[in-house]
Structure 1
Amino acid sequence: MPVNRRILLVEDDADIAALLVVHLSDYGAEIVHVTDGVDALTYALQEQWDMLILDLGLPGIDGVVIARQIRRLDSAIPILMVTARGTEADRVQGLDAGADDYIVKPFSMAELVARVRALFRRSETSHRGLEQQALVAGDLILDANTRTVSVTGDTVELTCREFGLLAAFIAQPGKTFRRRELLESVWGTQYEGYQHTVNTHINRLRAKIEPDPANPRYILTVWGVGYRFNC
């Protein structure tokens, strides 16, 4: 794990939090720990973080609400949800709220640290892969260095996952992507089985970049297969 990373840990179980602080600090990360949703949202929105480790069952404000609030403000911060809620519906809800990964209690500290490191690697690899590139398609311009997107000259605020989807599309115009491919590219291979979360994010992305989201110009549905980008 790169040193000097700042991680906001939101966990109301004191024993679990203490273990997480010890193990993550061993890898050079600075950990700030809060125990309730209100403080978590305040800290998350007012300071700069490299990752958010977020419990779902919190006093004050639920973790899903916190994740959604952060994503609405176009935060690219990786979010790892840590929770006792392990059903498929819970996982889908967490991913749709904006989580990048989801781990269910009880878990080993080694597994959690490995997931944290994987999220950092994925974020850095994605950035390096597009570094120095400005991708253009029609009225769309995607700037990887500033992680900004403009449509007809106006800046559009995208979440981390929306940006990743658009980058994948615009880099390979005309290619038909299966939902599984998009999950593996943008979310990671561990999300196999949650392909309908792609549909949710595609709809949100269309609402932001398409002149008429009901009749998309850029992101086209290939029925029974997935999506392709039309430039």
Structure 2
Amino acid sequence: MNTFENQVAVITGAASGLGLVIAHKLLYEGARIGLLDLNEQALNDEFVGNPEQEERIGVDVTDEQRVAQAVARVAERFGKIDILINCAGITGATNIKSHEVDTANLQKVFNINFMASFYTAKAVLPYMLQNNYGRILHVASIAGKEGNAGMLAYSASKAAVIGMAKVQGKEYAETGITVNALAPAVIQTPLVDAMPEAQVKYMTDKIPMKRCGTLEEAANMAAFIVSPENSFVTGFTFDLSGGRATY
């Protein structure tokens, strides 16, 4: 398959979970990719055999200056940037009521889930505008639509991500650039594996299919959203919820 031949992507959180699976899918389909993750060693462990298609960059995505430098490095190596997929994210402390939320933890979750996505979009958009083409996907969560009790920081930060996709989708609608969000329910990832069992059960019980989504299901949808074929949808939040959300 060569859906993404001659396309250049930037993917955050590329060393694990959804970012890792999406990156491998796009590489298989011909993309050249800037792989961004805080864990540079994990990037080197997970990506072997395609050096001509990969630019691996260990970077703290909450550092705006370093994000801009990383994006510039990808653009310099491959000549352009067509795609941005923001997968980096954390849940923060969970199973805790709002009056007990630690402010520092909430700020950390917002910095990684929202601010980092803003920084990467801010950095790639000038490159996309040069070519009047781009696909940006912010990975949000069904929690950003409905709010999960015990997950104030995560739910609110993902709601902010959805709001950003709506705004950016409108702002760049006439430029050939689309900006969308993806709102999964529970996907079986290391992030979910690390959550308290009670919190995972609370979320899974809300899903009519009564199961977690798979990384492959999420990667397939993400790949479609950032493909050239998806050209008339922008500012939209795609559900991946096993029937939990139908709006």
- Give the structure-1-normalised TM-score: 0.44
Higher Cα Rg, which structure? 1
Greater RCO (Cα-Cα under 8 Å, separation 6 or more): 2
What TM-score does the superposition give when structure 2 sets the normalisation length? Answer: 0.41
